[in-house]
Structure 1
């Protein structure tokens, strides 16, 4: 059983303040709902308190800035900040530099390839948090796909578009299954439903016309 102490409560407050003005992409839902959902999944699937805290804080560097790294280290310790760093695609500062849509899309592919390469060799403590975060996102995409008012337009929110997003999630499913992550089965169900609702058969891995040399990591056939 996961025991939660005052550290967890302090992390909830930290996340609430850090993400106070942020919303879930394309919605009016407070971003805090996402990190709370990820933390709940981590606890549900047997994570310890450090992993649950890291789940609460996993997007602080990416969405709120690099200064949070030192603050998380000081307040919650090395184990937590190591997981947060490992779950970070890019800092808020680097993301802000992607003002040009074409550059942002190109950088998205590069970042996702790097993230997949890091994930396949990540520590088990990182993998659980990462997988729970991706599961929460995948279920949110499925929910929007099932909503007649949104449907496949949900993919317009992402730099990878429909093909890139579907490929990325399928590649993640392959990584999580290969590493026997405890949430791999639930994640695969969500990704399968995502592809079904998107009318995308067969499921394909993340790939671009310019770069196919990462097939070892990305190919799911």
Structure 2
């Protein structure tokens, strides 16, 4: 079985009965969109598969050991690089960790993280167009903190050089927050 198909099946099972924050949209739409963004940008199938699986360890019962067993060490390491290490930390601490980590992460981890943020912003923009400022009430932190986070993510992703997806992310940040 193709690794992308296998990742789609595994992510679908892992995220079954989960929904996007504050909506009735099945959660699986997000990892699939992340994979499509990476595929469209020309990334290897292992990177696309890791993009599809990027939230499984953070948001489901799937472990990195499960991913390594089922998909191999490379994909498990890519997913590990996109997983927040400690959900017990405050939102600010977790986001600051991500901002710092992405400065020196591998190119492929940075691409997956960027595709993740890009789809999140596009989803927020779509919801914003429908419900206005009310959209910010869905998040642990509001518009000001979200703008801070995404602006700093862009700086981190550009720390060792830019790439196409970062430019797209910046366009979405400008569109949503300005």
Distance 1:7 1:111 in 2: 30
> What is the CA RMSD across the aligned residues, in angstroms?
1.5
Distance 1:54 1:189 in 2: 25
Residues 1:75 and 2:57 are matched in the alignment: no
Distance 1:89 1:77 in 2: 20
Q: Hey, what does 1:127 align to over in structure 2?
A: 110
Shift of 1:17: 0.3
Contact 1:120 1:175 in 2 (8 A): yes
Identify the structure with bigger relative contact order (alpha carbons < 8 Å, sequence gap 6+).
2
Contact 1:173 1:191 in 2 (8 A): no
2:79 to 77, 81, 84: 84
Residues 1:187 and 2:178 are matched in the alignment: no
Distance 2:73 2:137 in 1: 37
Contact 1:73 1:80 in 2 (8 A): yes
1:142 to 103, 116, 125: 125
Where does the alignment leave 5 or more consecutive residues of structure 2 unmatched? none
1:170 to 136, 147, 151: 151
Residues 1:159 and 2:140 are matched in the alignment: yes
Contact 1:26 1:157 in 2 (8 A): yes
Residues 1:40 and 2:36 are matched in the alignment: yes
TM-score after normalising by structure 2: 0.94
Shift of 1:142: 1.1
As a proportion of its length, which structure holds more helix? 2
Q: Hey, what does 1:58 align to over in structure 2?
A: 54
TM-score after normalising by structure 1: 0.76
